[in-house]
Amino acid sequence: MDPRRGHFRIVTKMNPIDRTHDPKRRSWVESANGHAEFPIQNLPLGVFSPREGKNRGGVAIGDAIFDMAAAVRAGLFTGAARKPALMAADQTLNRLMALPPSARLALRQRLSDLLSADGADRSAVESLKGELLHPAADCTLHLPAQIGDYTDFLTSIHHAANTGRFFRGGQDPVPANFRHLPIAYHGRASSVRASGEAVRRPHGQHQSRPGEPPTFGPCERLDYEYELGVWIGNGNALGEPIAIAEAGAHIVGHCLLNDWSARDIQRWESQPLGPFLGKSFSTTISPWIVTVEALAPFRVPQPPRSPGDPHPLPYLWDEEDQKGGALDCTLEAFLLTPGLAAKGLPPQRLSRANATDLYWTFAQMVAHHTSGGCNLNPGDLFGSGTISGALADGPGALLELSENGQRPIELASGETRTFLEDGDEVIFHAHCHREGFASIGFGECRGRITA
Ligand code: CA
């Protein structure tokens, strides 16, 4: 199927399908061809450092990282691609993120042509590969931006229903406002870390039994939450909301996000305000920004609301957004325990869901966040909220999978888990597949619990 001839479900104005998505396009970087995460059709943006060297911008291509600083020095970018290329070489990508989507598109098209096996400049570029490419395994990946603000949403109805049942009880466990607005709280940007960094078990106040005084000590119900991260690009002035029809143009791309959660601390402190120390000790993200341009083929209509659900207010409703505002992306969470590792067993899959399980679109999150006048800045980060599917293996958190600790999960090592123990490692993967297109992935989001 030729993606340039219109055999696709959705083409948004902002995210056209072009030669960079052609599934036949191959790279002279051999490891990229058929790569599960980073084929030439992906080209995610990030910040890395080689074994000896400073932080600089790069692009994942197969098992390698394309060094944007070296490529700029070699004069490989001219015209409309030059300015975004300069900024894509920075130590943080905030300046790049502030540019309009057209600049990112020019950069993507030039990168794709430079790395293409059939590119006009192939021999010149390939002759520089010693400087341009670094084996990813020899590099350290960093946060791609200086994150000014981090907001975490609650937008999966299955997750809302499950946690509502465990935390609040009552007739309808879904909060009354959930179907009217994308609920969120302001999180801590300071404790967001790139994949691979250890996560220290937090200490805090928790109440063992209702009515008893709290104690202070290590969290006993440590959990993860599988979310998609949303990277904000160009922002808005204070007092000037972003209309939902424009919201997509303010999103640069996505990453995987683990909103580590101390359930016992969270439960005791969240009365009446929202999450605080139960969440702020750590958030882990996958370090590559998979751009909205790369994700264009995987846009799908937002699933219809259930009969009887209220229609969103006008400021949260846009027909174009409903036609293509959801993302078809398979999300899988794995657990590697010390017991599994000791027996040479692979990480065990805990759950599998899809980003279409979100009740609100990313554009609705942006429109709602700014509707009161709050300004967003380039490099701000949103969490989508835990993405839980409807099926038994769908939940994106142990709280749900273990039914609030009542049903231990059996592992292939003979161990069981209700919540995380020291030494446990949580690993997220996500992939987008679609017939007629090259599959792309997000890379890993990984973190190990330490005492
Ligand atoms: Ca969360």
Q: Are residues 353 and 389 in contact, defined by beta-carbon separation less than 8 angstroms?
A: yes
Dist. CA 258 → ligand 1 center (Å): 8
Dist. CA 418 → ligand 1 center (Å): 18
Confidence band for 3, pLDDT divided at 50, 70 and 90: very low
Dist. CA 255 → ligand 1 center (Å): 14
The predicted model gives 175-184 an average pLDDT of: 95
Confidence band for 8, pLDDT divided at 50, 70 and 90: very low
Domain ranges of the chain: 19-142, 150-450
Q: Are residues 141 and 195 in contact, defined by beta-carbon separation less than 8 angstroms?
A: yes
Q: pLDDT digits over 344-365, tens only?
A: 999 999 999 999 999 999 999 9
Dist. CA 33 → ligand 1 center (Å): 35
Dist. CA 397 → ligand 1 center (Å): 9
424 has pLDDT over 80: yes
Give the model's pLDDT for residue 210.
87
Dist. CA 31 → ligand 1 center (Å): 35
Global pTM? 0.95
Dist. CA 23 → ligand 1 center (Å): 35
Average pLDDT over all residues of the chain: 94
Give the other-Cβ count within 10 Å of 250's Cβ.
Answer: 25
Q: Which residue has the tokens 């670094």?
A: 134
5 has pLDDT over 50: no
Counting residues of the chain whose pLDDT is more than 70, the rounded percentage is 96
Q: pLDDT digits over 250-274, tens only?
A: 999 999 999 999 999 999 999 888 8
Query: Would you list the DSSP string of 155-200?
Result: -BHHHHHHHHHHHT-SS--S-TTTTTS-EEEEE-STTEEETT--EE
Confidence band for 430, pLDDT divided at 50, 70 and 90: very high
Counting residues of the chain whose pLDDT is more than 90, the rounded percentage is 90
Dist. CA 155 → ligand 1 center (Å): 9
Give the model's pLDDT for residue 106.
97
CB half-sphere exposure, 180, CA atoms < 13 A: 3
Dist. CA 272 → ligand 1 center (Å): 17
For residues 294 and 175, the model is more confident at 294
Catalytic site includes residue 142: no
What secondary structure letter does DSSP report for 62? T
Confidence band for 14, pLDDT divided at 50, 70 and 90: low
The predicted model gives 101-126 an average pLDDT of: 96
Dist. CA 366 → ligand 1 center (Å): 17
Dist. CA 385 → ligand 1 center (Å): 5
User: What does the alpha-carbon distance between residue 232 and residue 377 come to, in Å, rounded to a whole number?
Assistant: 7
Q: Which CATH number fits domain 19-142: 2.30.30.230, 3.30.70.2190, 3.30.70.20, 3.80.10.10?
A: 2.30.30.230
Confidence band for 6, pLDDT divided at 50, 70 and 90: very low
Residues 313-343 as b or e (16 or more Cβ within 10 Å = b): eeebebeebbbbbbbbbbbbbbbbbebbeee
**How is residue 364 written in tokens?**
């609705």
Confidence band for 170, pLDDT divided at 50, 70 and 90: low
From the list 356, 249, 293, 297, the residue with the least C-alpha distance to 6 is 297
Catalytic, out of 134, 159, 250, 254: 159
Q: Which residue has the tokens 């994106």?
A: 396
Q: pLDDT digits over 363-419, tens only?
A: 999 999 999 999 999 999 999 999 999 888 999 999 999 999 999 999 999 999 999
Give the model's pLDDT for residue 400.
94
Q: pLDDT digits over 330-342, tens only?
A: 999 999 999 999 9
Dist. CA 410 → ligand 1 center (Å): 25
The predicted model gives 48-56 an average pLDDT of: 95
104 has pLDDT over 70: yes
Query: Which CATH code fits 150-450?
Result: 3.90.850.10
Q: Are residues 376 and 398 in contact, defined by beta-carbon separation less than 8 angstroms?
A: no
Dist. CA 15 → ligand 1 center (Å): 28
Residues written for the chain: 451
